[in-house]
Structure 1
Amino acid sequence: MVYPSRSAASRASLPARVTGRLSRLSWVDLVVAVAVLVGIYLLLRVGKGATVSFDPARVVKVDTDPARLPYYAARSLLRMFVALAASVVFTLGYAYAAARSRRLERVLIPALDILQSVPVLGFLTVAVAWFLSLFPGSVLGLELAAIFAIFTSQAWNMTFGFYHSLITLPRELDEISRSFGFTRWMRFWKVELPNGAIGLVWNGMMSFGGGWFFLVASEAISVGGHQYALPGLGSYAGTAIAEGDLGKVGWAVATMAVLVFGVNFVFWRPLTAWTERFKNEQSEAADIQRSLVLDFLRRSSWPRLLGRPARWAAEVMGRAARVLGTDDRPLTVSRARRRTGDLVFALVAGGLIGWGLAGLLGYLHRSTGLGVFAEPLLLGLATLARVVVLVAVATVVWVPVGVRIGFSPRLARIAQPVVQLLASFPANFLFPLATWFFLWSGLSLNVGGVLLMALGAQWYILFNTIAGAAAVPTDLREAMDDLGVRGRQRWKRLIIPGIFPAYVTGGITASGGAWNASIVSEVVTFGGTTLTATGLGAYIAKATSHGDYPQLVAGIAVMACYVVALNRLLWRRLYRLAETRYSLQSA
């Protein structure tokens, strides 16, 4: 008889408890609530433009009146965040599947190498036609194609980074989670995701910058002789560049700078400061990253109120995982059955790959003959030389800088927005200046193209190095200071083991990003002047603009082969070295 009376009293006091909580809301809570409501209103206003009618046969001209820039910037920002949300979901699922299943890893990681190697223009060629057929007569199809293109410039870097944080999980964390009998969901939510949080945020920041880099190609689309344009900052800049209007290009540059700094202040800096809590260390650092926005939100009651449903949902999913039997109890499977399963899986995967390869070769044989591969294979050597030079120089220049920034939260607060602005800056915006400089100096684009490729690729190394250095436990750094370990020995004993896994992730994504950036860096156009370099990127750009699908397919296939070969011969071996030798748990 006692339990019903308590339940009734609890139900009777519920309105009083709610009223009490609302009465405790401060002016900070009101400001946060108003900001959220205004954000939702702006989202609805901007999103309305994504559902209007659209005629693919009609050429849409972008209005380059600077007064339209705030609306264009909002449309671009909305696409960027939708693509980022899709990239996070993809990253968590894909990386976890590859890290926790050796059988899937043999397929998913090589597939990720290939996906990374396919240029944005290659994805757009297929995506535009597919999404337009999926939503005929609506601009939503073109919007989804642009978002998908931005997604392809963001997702691979984040996936590689999170995958590597999973396979290099510190041994003590793994043993503790198993000793407490965590289910797979609890292990992921309480151990694996927090362990990779710092790298995930910094890679997300870098990937977001990669989305800005390819914004012009995503919003001003030229495929198969058809021109498609969406209202956005990238299409505005592309139109201004095509018209040769330096004043309007300057307005686009200024708007881009405001967007990057604003997103960094409101979104990325609070995230990087929040992830400080996930450092694997025994003593708290004296100097930590701070964020005015995060400090303001911590004074509000909304995060605690909204966190309760999130914790409840996590508990429900944990119980569901336990009911479904997805815990970490080892399954007793004989070696013969494992070998049989691996053989069947290899046969199925090999059959699908062989079927796809046969279809591709058959299409090219019927269209132009297999000799179409000869030219892109030779041109790929020129682009490969630029990629190797870029990665080597970026390593020498940016690894020490990244370590310095990652070890100093105070310096990180200053450098983070500057570095993000540089990483986010689309190379297309610099085409007017680059064209003038190359013509004035007589510098060939065959050499200058490396500089333009660097604008989109070198930052992967810097951002991953910063993330790796920021994740090094403070107590280890203090121990090295107490022991007087400096210079070369400090790099050998602490810095290299601490940042090497993150550097490898940066290197593999910088390499893939450089191949991708070659599409827009080996052909520079401003007004009526066009400069072209010898390389595979220029070959693919030309095939795309002319609608030559056999050459486009051959160029993309060759680029994929180069990237996969480089990853297999170099980066994958460095991955294994990072996993077995260069990590803090074995330092």
Structure 2
Amino acid sequence: MSGLGGFPSRGVWRQPALRWVDVVVAGALVALLYGLLRLAPSLNAPFLPSTAPSSVSTDPSNLPYYAVRSLVRMFAALVASVVFTFLYATAAARLRRAEKVLLPLLDILQSVPVLGFLSVTVTAFINLFPGSELGLECASVFAIFTAMAWNMTFAFYYSLISQPRELDEAARVLRLTKWQRFWRLDVPSGVIPLVWNGMMSFGGAWFFLAASESISVLNHQYALPGMGSYAAAAIAQGDLGKVGIAVAVMVVLVIGVNALFWRPITAWSERFRVEEAEAAERPRSAVLDMLRRSSVPGLLGRPLKGLWPALDRITRPFGLAEHPIGVSPVRERTGDVFFAGVVSVMVVYGAWKAFAYVDSTVGLGEFGHALALGAATFGRVVALTVAATLVWVPVGVWIGMNPKVTRFAQPVVQVLASFPANFLFPFATAAFVALGISLDAGAILLMALGAQWYILFNVIAGASAIPSDLREAMTTFRVGGRLRWRRFILPAIFPSYVTGGITAAGGAWNASIVAEVVSYGNHHLTATGLGAYITQATATGDFPKILVGISVMSLYVVAANRLFWRRMYRLAETRYAL
């Protein structure tokens, strides 16, 4: 039978078949939304600081609920970190005068320990949401954010300042607006390092989950339902069995997040690799393949397609991607002097007020004591960085330059890096006590458990980003052994290693606040160092000592970054950029 005009009509009005992949994707989205809606009321539960519980139940049946609450905090902090990274790193890379302030400020921010932020933000957030647990939730998310954001910002900043010159010139010739350049050039060129460092930052944030959920600050103890607070309560009870259950649940959580989130994003980011020859093997993800076969993401994203042209038109008055032309050197120097003068006045005034406050409370001699303790922690940081470099650079190169190895090793590395090592501190404490090992030496191992992975992940990212044509050229010319390492591999991964080194050192300083004071049951070990000093001052609410400790730690970190790591950055930018 024919339709009008003799054309066949069979199947014209037939509805598209409902595919199983669409059902699975839609079902997962509905389940996610339903879970978030059911969880929302508990985030805004009534809360009074005077009657707030100082601990959570250690009944293992509560662990699924605690796991969901912790995951919501982690992903909320990740979203905030991505937004902060885009804004802060772009400003530091594109605004020359702002860079002189933003980069040193970033050094200081990454050196301030999580407890240092909590000592200030907990009271502020509680007052912002009076009578609601949402204030404490925001304080916890902010603490996790401070453990994620700095590493991602450093990685994206370096990707911006090391863009190939021909791509920068193409953006200017095409007269892209700043908005167009950001989404069509800046973000795509920085996706791979941002994803790998985001994955590492997410894993590093698990390390501080206990400190952000079981908050001991200003002589008050607050506990939020979560995996970190559960582990803290089990450790305080000295119950290794329940600690072991928490460890098992955390392993399941880490593997699940890696399989359902990080693995698909890692495979998706490969589309932004810039190279002339296609790699022999790309990372694969069953979840990403399912999303690509499903029509649900396209249907959800269709309403947003008309938004981009409108944003292009709105942002065009803000200027093109090229920098201003024709500014006279005299005017530029005058602006620099004025800008530097304003910043210097603000810094001097703030330092004077801080010194006056410390002098009127604990005395300026406390700085000398803190500097001596900082020297002990600095020695541990140096030892950790050197050891991690010698161990993990060869391993990272081997994983990153072998796609087949990456496919199997990346999930293993992700589990090891993401697992909160402080969950193992009770077992380490018991071993130190049994073997008679001082925490002054043992703290190096505990700090390494949380900081060494920054070097490994960045080296893997750097090695995997080496263009395939360069690898094939080295193989064709039969360059191997020490010459291959000295002339090809080390220069190629050097920029990524510098990013990993500076964040690993900053992470080690931050990790010292939980590694230099450890407890298990009735056993309490304390190392001589600045991390222990800040931890004890925060627990007792001693604001003058908190200020002294954070100031001294910032001084050490900024000095090391200025004298060493920044020079490595300039060397990477001028000599070793591909």
Both proteins in one fold, TM over 0.5: yes
Separation in 1, partners of 2:303, 2:555: 47
In the alignment, is the contact (CA less than 8 A) between 1:456 and 1:514 conserved in 2? Answer: yes
SS where residue 221 of structure 1 aligns?
A: strand
1:234 to 228, 233, 238: 228
Q: Count residues with an aligned counterpart.
A: 566
Distance 1:505 1:431 in 2: 28
2:33 maps to 40
Give the distance between the partners of 1:21 and 1:503, measured in 2 at CA: 57
Structure 1 residues 249 and 329: alpha-carbon distance in aligned structure 2, compared to 1, 3 A threshold: closer
Cα deviations by residue, 1:393-437 (Å, 9 ceiling, x for unpaired):
100110111111111222122222221222122232112211111
Contact 2:231 2:246 in 1 (8 A): yes
Q: Match of 1:339?
A: 333
Name the aligned partner's letter for residue 490 of structure 2: I
**Matched residue of 2:384: which SS?**
helix
* Per-residue deviation, 1:277: 0.9
Answering whether residue 24 of structure 2 is matched by residue 31 of structure 1, we say yes
User: Which sits farther off after the overlay, 264-273 or 280-289?
Assistant: 280-289
Give, in whole Å, the separation in 1 of the partners of 2:168 and 2:485: 27
- Of the three residues 253, 256, 266, the one matched with 2:260 is 266
Q: Partner of 1:111 in structure 2?
A: 105
Is the deviation greater in 28-37 or in 297-306?
297-306
* Counterpart check, 1:325 vs 2:319: yes
Q: CA RMSD in A?
A: 1.5
Give, in angstroms, the shift of residue 366 of structure 1.
Answer: 1.3
8 Å CA contact retained: 2:374, 2:552? yes
d(CA) in 2 for partners of 1:311 and 1:177?
A: 22
Q: Write the distance in 2 (CA, Å) between the matches of 1:233 and 1:128.
A: 20
1:198-257 C-alpha deviation (Å, 9 max, x unpaired)? 100000000001110100000000001100000000000000000001111011101110
Q: Distance in 1 between matches of 2:15 and 2:226?
A: 41
Show structure 2 runs of 5+ residues with no match.
Answer: 1-11
- Equivalent in the alignment of 1:8: none
Q: 1:126 aligns to what?
A: 120
Q: Distance in 2 between matches of 1:21 and 1:444?
A: 76
> Where do 5+ consecutive residues of structure 1 fail to align?
1-18
1:520 to partner: Cα distance: 0.5
Structure 1 segments of 4+ aligned residues over 6 angstroms from their partners: 19-22
1:405 corresponds to 2:399: yes
1:46-104 CA distances to partner (integer Å, 9 max, x unpaired)?
22211010010124130110000000000000000000000000001100000011101
Among 249, 256, 263, the residue aligned to 2:243: 249
CA distance in 1, matches of 2:477, 2:321: 43
Cα deviation, 1:261-296, whole Å, max 9, x if unaligned, reads 000000000011011111111121111100000011
Per-residue deviation, 1:311: 4.0
Q: Distance in 1 between matches of 2:493 and 2:301?
A: 33
1:198 paired residue number = 192
Question: Which moves more between the two structures, 505-514 or 281-290?
Answer: 281-290
Aligned mates of 1:533, 1:446 — CA distance in 2: 5
Counterpart CA distance in 2 for 1:87 and 1:574 is: 25
Which region of structure 1 is more displaced relative to structure 2, 20-29 or 112-121?
A: 20-29
In the alignment, which residue of structure 2 is the partner of 1:297? 291
Corresponding residue for residue 75 of structure 1: 69
Q: Distance in 2 between matches of 1:178 and 1:115?
A: 34
Of 544, 553, 556 in structure 1, the residue corresponding to residue 547 of structure 2 is 553
Partner of 1:491: 485
Q: Whole-Å Cα distance in 1 between the matches of residues 241 and 566 of structure 2?
A: 46
* Corresponding residue for residue 474 of structure 2: 480
Secondary structure at 2:452 match in 1: helix
What is residue 277 of structure 1 aligned with on the other side?
271
Alpha-carbon offset, residue 328 of structure 1: 1.9
Which residue of 2 is the match for residue 162 of structure 1? 156
Separation in structure 1 between the aligned mates of residue 272 and residue 560 of structure 2, nearest angstrom: 33
Identity of aligned residues (%): 62
3-state DSSP of counterpart to 1:196: helix
Which residue of structure 1 aligns with residue 359 of structure 2? 365
Task: For 2:25, give the aligned amino acid.
Answer: V
CA–CA separation in structure 1 for the residues paired with 2:505 and 2:199 = 18
Which letter maps to 1:573? R
Matched-pair contact (CA < 8 Å) for 2:117–2:143: yes
- Does the CA-based 8 Å contact 1:46-1:71 persist in structure 2? no
